[in-house]
Amino acid sequence: MELTDADLVARVLVNDDQHAFGELVRRHQSPVRGLLRQLTRTDVALADDLAQQTFLRAYKNIRSFRGEARFSTWLYRIAYNCFREDARRRKELVGIDEEQLQTQHDPQVASPGLRHDLMRALSLLPLNERSAVLLCCQNGLSHDEAARVLDIPLGTVKTNVLRGREKLKRMLADWGPN
Amino acid sequence: MKQVNQEDWLDQQLREAAPYIDDEGFTARVLQQLPPPRRGTDFLRAAILLGMTFIASVLAYVVSGGGRFVSVTIERLAALPALWVFVLALASGLVVAAVGATAAISKGWVLET
């Protein structure tokens, strides 16, 4: 029988079992690295560095995980904090404004593919909308869980998701269903 | 209806744009950077505590004139009425049971969470 995340966390807490923690890393590395790649605008090396920091921080602070949220939600929150701290250091927290967004989007330019355009459209969203859309629409978190991860009010998450989706739909209008 | 279709389509595209990322040594790199397991430090802590207890016991024995206070206390206890001895034994038992129950409950809580 496969152990649940809670079982593995208990093993880490009680026996300092690093094999159990390794299993947790194996299970969650893909979504955490994926989220960080999107947040860093597909800077793979930076995203992986931040993902390593995320898991190391999770290991050191695993006693603060109370099991009130899913383990993945707790990890996303640490990942997002790592990203924000790094972004603050790099002074990249400022999103791209509407004007810049519109000038960069040119429907006449031939697109190499939907996936490429979607990634590009995502990277053009301001950070608050991008992170809300990624957590709720891509990673399947509820608005409430995303509010915990991003440490912002529930209403703000809903607004950011709505605005982000509207912008994405506008930017991908040529690809969408008729 | 068109709006709903568009949102479903966008969500689907977003989910598909997040393929599984192969581990490719990532977990091993994380595990290499973990601090050493607590077991070593726990052993050291236990050794220090035992050592300190031993030294304190030896000091107490020497300072108290060869542990004379132990025999004095036993003599005093023997002189107590049987009911008092029973009450003392019962109280000690209850204290030990309470400490054990607290430790078991806190351990159970850790495992549960």
pTM attached to this predicted model: 0.67
Q: Which amino acid is at A108?
A: Q
Mean pLDDT of chain A: 85
Give residue ranges of A with CB < 8 Å to any B CB.
6, 10, 13-14, 16, 18, 21-22, 25-26, 29-31, 33-34, 37-38, 48, 51-52, 55-56, 59-60, 65-67, 114-115, 118-119, 122, 133-134, 137-140, 165, 168-169, 172, 176-177
Total domains present in chain A: 2
Torsion angle, CA of A162/A166/A167/A173, rounded to 10 degrees?
160
Residue B71 has pLDDT above 90, yes or no: no
ipTM value, please give it: 0.79
Please indicate, yes or no, whether residues A57 and A127 belong to a single structural domain of this protein: no
Identify the pLDDT of residue A93: 52
Containing structural domain, residue A42: 5-90
Residues in B touching A123 (Cβ below 8 Å) = none
Containing structural domain, residue B47: 2-79
Please indicate, yes or no, whether residues B59 and B112 belong to a single structural domain of this protein: no
Which runs of consecutive H residues, i.e. helices, occur in chain A? 5-15, 18-39, 44-60, 71-90, 98-104, 114-124, 127-133, 143-150, 154-171
Please indicate, yes or no, whether residues A53 and A9 belong to a single structural domain of this protein: yes
Mean pLDDT on B84-101 = 93
- Residue A122 CB partners (closer than 8 Å, separation 6+): A38, A130, A133, A134, A168, B17
- Please give, rounded to a whole number of angstroms, the shortest distance from the CA of A38 to a CA of chain B: 9
Please indicate, yes or no, whether residues A111 and A86 belong to a single structural domain of this protein: no
Backbone angles phi, psi at A71, to 5 degrees: -60, -35
Percent of chain A with pLDDT over 70: 85
Mean pLDDT on B50-72 = 86
Total domains present in chain B: 2
Please write the tens of the pLDDT for every residue from A57-107: 999 999 888 888 899 999 999 999 999 999 888 865 555 444 444 444 444
Please indicate, yes or no, whether residues B45 and B86 belong to a single structural domain of this protein: no
Please indicate, yes or no, whether residues A81 and A42 belong to a single structural domain of this protein: yes
Q: Between the ranges A12-16, A91-95, A171-175, where is the mean pLDDT highest?
A: A12-16
Nearest to A119 among B17, B107, B111 (CB): B17
Residue B100 has pLDDT above 80, yes or no: yes
